[in-house]
Amino acid sequence: MSSCNIDHSLEEVQTKLESQKEFLPAALYRDTELALHQEQPQEILNEVFHLLKKYDLADPEEQENRNTQLQHLFENEQ
């Protein structure tokens, strides 16, 4: 994903996740939501926000790529 200089708050990331809930695989939504209930570094919050941004408008291949990136973010955090 392209890098952005804006730091996104936990609340912004949670709102973005909720707005994309119906488009995400259920297990990925649940895992992301659970991970956000743990303290996450700012870098992770920013990355999650950008992976979720316009997720619903991405083509299926791009969505799958983002799904993989989200899964790897939280695998590395555990």
pLDDT of residue 72: 94
Average pLDDT estimate for 12-28: 97
Those residues with Cβ within 8 angstroms of residue 19's Cβ, 6 or more apart along the chain or in another chain: 52
Distance CA 25, CA 70 (A): 11
Return all residues near 22 (Cβ < 8 A) that are at least 6 apart.
none
**Mind listing the pLDDT tens digit for each residue in 32-47?**
999 999 999 999 999 9
Euclidean distance between CA atoms 57 and 10, whole angstroms:
23
Judged by phi (left if over 0) then psi (alpha if -120 to 50, else beta), residue 54 lies in left
pLDDT band at 25 (very low <50, low <70, confident <90, very high): very high
pLDDT of residue 1 exceeding 60, the answer is no
